[in-house]
């Protein structure tokens, strides 16, 4: 199993002063960047093969990797057109997505507990898996995951009024694909690029994969486990004050 971490975005909604702008994965919480936390958590759950999709100020992330002297060193790819959209960023790392075996596709801007990663990687058999949090704030920002008869039927921020579902929660920005689903996902992403939809968020391609219903997806409930996506200045404050104190210590990994 390997992880592909998407860390190309500029994070404009954080409203950082232009001269101080850094990639969101370099935000620090209790002395560790989000990137370092991801690497520690992944190694803690047995995932050592990591690929980073970089873009905005990629040299800062590369410097952080060098500072950490992380082993094995993550493989890096750079999307020079990072401002176009995350579909293009995923396409940049197609080789890592389609290399074989299960792959984890992860957003880099999430502060989370090890229980989140444990839920994602649990089970040695190949599997497709989504994570859902039923305790979420309604609104336009959360990516909503809708379930009907145990099957995921929608993955979007804005839901159709005609959509029928049994339950709805917020999708954590982490996905697990088996080899077959990863190959198909990469093909869908390529189709987005070829049809001038490179500006779209990669969740749209995941949604298309789900709605083909050719691959069975398990949905794991992580409600109650602390996590937060960092998008706005207020998110940094809440992450430090509310989420960070709930996280289990980062132990046993060097």
pLDDT in tens, 175-232: 999 999 999 999 999 999 999 999 999 999 999 999 999 999 999 999 999 999 999 9
Beta bridge partners of 103: 2, 177
Pair type for strands 128-133 and 167-177: antiparallel
Helix-then-strand count for the chain, H and E: 8, 13
Query: Whats the size of the chain, residue-wise?
Result: 254
CB 177, CB 105: distance < 8 Å: yes
Q: Which domains does the chain have, with CATH numbers?
A: 2-246 (3.90.550.10)
Q: What pLDDT, in 10s, does the model give residues 170-182?
A: 999 999 999 999 9
Q: Using alpha carbons, list the distances in angstroms from residue 216 to 161, 166, 210.
A: 25, 18, 8
The pTM assigned to this predicted structure is 0.95
Listed residue (35, 49, 202) closest to 110, CA to CA: 35
């Amino acid at each position: 199993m390997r992880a592909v971490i998407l860390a190309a975005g500029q994070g404009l909604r954080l409203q950082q002063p232009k001269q101080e702008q850094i990639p969101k994965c370099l935000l620090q919480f209790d002395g560790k960047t989000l990137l370092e936390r991801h690497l520690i958590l992944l190694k803690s759950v047995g995932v050592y093969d990591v690929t980073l999709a970089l873009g905005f100020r990629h040299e800062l992330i590369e410097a952080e990797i060098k500072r950490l002297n992380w082993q094995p060193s993550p493989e890096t790819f750079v999307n020079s057109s990072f401002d176009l959209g995350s579909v293009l960023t995923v396409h940049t790392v197609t080789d890592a997505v389609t290399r074989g075996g299960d792959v984890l596709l992860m957003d880099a801007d999430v502060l989370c507990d090890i229980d989140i990663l444990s839920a994602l990687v649990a089970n040695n058999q190949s599997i497709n898996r989504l994570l859902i949090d039923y305790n979420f704030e309604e609104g336009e920002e959360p990516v909503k995951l809708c379930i009907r008869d145990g099957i995921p039927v929608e993955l979007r921020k804005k839901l159709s009024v005609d959509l029928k579902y049994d339950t709805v929660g917020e999708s954590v920005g982490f996905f697990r694909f088996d080899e077959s689903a990863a190959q198909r996902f990469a093909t869908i992403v390529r189709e987005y690029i070829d049809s001038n939809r490179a500006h779209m968020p990669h969740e749209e391609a995941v949604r298309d994969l789900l709605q083909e219903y050719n691959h069975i997806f398990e949905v794991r409930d992580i409600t109650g486990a602390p996590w937060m996506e960092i998008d706005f200045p207020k998110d940094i404050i809440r992450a430090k004050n509310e989420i960070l104190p709930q996280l289990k210590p980062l132990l046993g990994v060097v």
